[in-house]
Structure 1
Amino acid sequence: MIQALVFDFDGLIIDTETPLIDAYAAVHTRHGVPFDRAVFIRSVGHAEYAFDPWHGFSPHADRAALELERRTVKSDLLARQPVLPGAAELITAARSRNLRIGLASNSEHAWVEPHLRRIGLLPHFDFLACREDAASPKPEPDLYRLVLNRFGLRGDEAIAFEDSATGVLAAKRANLWAVAVPGPSTAHHDFSPADLRATSLAEFSLDHLLTRFAGQAASPRG
């Protein structure tokens, strides 16, 4: 029986990833520097992938000033980001069924919690597992295992919701059911390990999910 839902944050509850990329694009455009969106999209959801976001600028460019400009643009874009379709409804439905609600994110608490507070969802979560809480980020299973241990559950008693292949792998390695909900920045990822793929969290009801995964045993893949 499913006892908990565990959500990723960036790109799943709020589209924080498109504003991040759009902010870099805006700064590049303002300074007349070509912007390679594909390179930036490649970095989304991959904590182990690093690149120089200002590589197109002159070696003499004031990177501190560029970063300040980017943060200003990003903050303005993020402040206007709504909850993605279906997220609030699914969380509310889970709460009404007395399911545990957790979060497993490669981002830090200082990033996740203010956003959840702004959109009014923070009180609905029983436990938040963020980057600084585990030894290794996704795709390692540490964050999901931390949530499961906190709830006293097996992996097959929980459903994970992820927008990236990295997150899906982490969930499956912890033996959770994994529902993939790709966003604009992650649609190109390989989601074959997922148990279910959807275009948004509004595509299915909680009852549909509970029925689909009831009485089965989740198996890790990847």
Structure 2
Amino acid sequence: MPTRALVFDFDGTLADTESAVLQSWQAVFREHGTELPMDAWYAVIGTQRTTPAMFALLAEHAPGIDPEALRPRTRAHVLRLLENLGPREGVRDYLETAREHGLKLAVASSSSGAWVNPHLERLGLDHYFDAVLTGDLHKAKPDPDLYLAALDALGTTAEDAIAFEDTPHGVTSAKAAGLTCVAVPNAITGKLDFGQADIVLPSFTAKPLEALLSR
């Protein structure tokens, strides 16, 4: 059955925003005299629980912190780190090829629309996508809801679509929705277990999209 649609995760997949977010949280933890345990980070990466989990963990080491007071400063730090960030290498080629083949395209992200949409616009990627589904309107990954919503928005079925993810939580979400899933880990997630993925690529430049479509 031919592929008719591609659904991409955003953070860490289309752009490596996760590195900036991690750096920001590491700086916050160090300011409070402790280190962020990476196992705690990996437990929530790719879900909607990152911020509350980090604040809860920080509170264990620094009782009395005010998350609401810290939130604007941590967000501003992340945005500064992201100012010069572009799409991951090879992403634009994938999107151009998809358009040439007439494929429908969607983003399925656990992050909010207020985070995803401005970044897509800043990166110059927004015009490629027929639909953008976000975690403020749907259940976050690893629940399959975002992918099911993406399929509905594109008017296609799971059998006709390929998902692209960079975290095991994202892969779980895509597979639970019935999609073929290609994992493209980044520098932060490369050591995690992607056994559920149908294909694991070290980068988008490792294999052209045509090779995936012809499987």
Q: Does 1:151 align with 2:154?
A: yes
List alignment gaps of at least 5 residues for structure 2. Answer: none
Report the equivalent of 2:130.
126
TM-score (norm 1): 0.86
Contact 2:133/2:146, CA 8 A, preserved across alignment: yes
CA distance in 2, matches of 1:63, 1:106: 21
Report the equivalent of 1:75.
79
CA distance in 1, matches of 2:26, 2:60: 12
Contact 1:25/1:37, CA 8 A, preserved across alignment: no
Report the equivalent of 1:11.
12
1:165-198 alpha-carbon deviations (Å, 9 max, x no partner): 1111111111111000112322233211111001
Deviates more, 1:151-160 or 1:116-125: 151-160
- Alpha-carbon distance change, 60 to 151 in structure 1, aligned in 2, over 3 angstroms: closer
Report the equivalent of 1:137.
140
Identity of aligned residues (%): 35
Aligned residue pairs, count? 210
The alignment partner of 2:96 has SS state of helix
Contact 1:54/1:63, CA 8 A, preserved across alignment: no
CA distance in 2, matches of 1:63, 1:159: 38
Report the equivalent of 1:164.
167
Larger radius of gyration: 1
The equivalences for 1:49-198 within 5 A come to 51=53, 52-55=56-59, 57-134=61-138, 136-198=139-201
Using the TM superposition, give the Cα deviation of residue 32 of structure 1 relative to its aligned residue in structure 2, in angstroms. 5.6
List alignment gaps of at least 5 residues for structure 1. Answer: 213-222
Runs of 4 or more consecutive aligned structure 1 residues displaced over 6 Å after TM superposition: none
1:113-147 alpha-carbon deviations (Å, 9 max, x no partner): 0000001110110011111332x222121111112
Contact 2:166/2:189, CA 8 A, preserved across alignment: yes
Q: Does 1:42 align with 2:43?
A: yes
CA distance in 2, matches of 1:7, 1:63: 31
- Alpha-carbon distance change, 33 to 127 in structure 1, aligned in 2, over 3 angstroms: same
Using the TM superposition, give the Cα deviation of residue 209 of structure 1 relative to its aligned residue in structure 2, in angstroms. 0.7
Partner amino acid, structure 1, of 2:20 = P
Report the equivalent of 1:219.
none
Partner amino acid, structure 1, of 2:149 = L
Q: Does 1:201 align with 2:199?
A: no
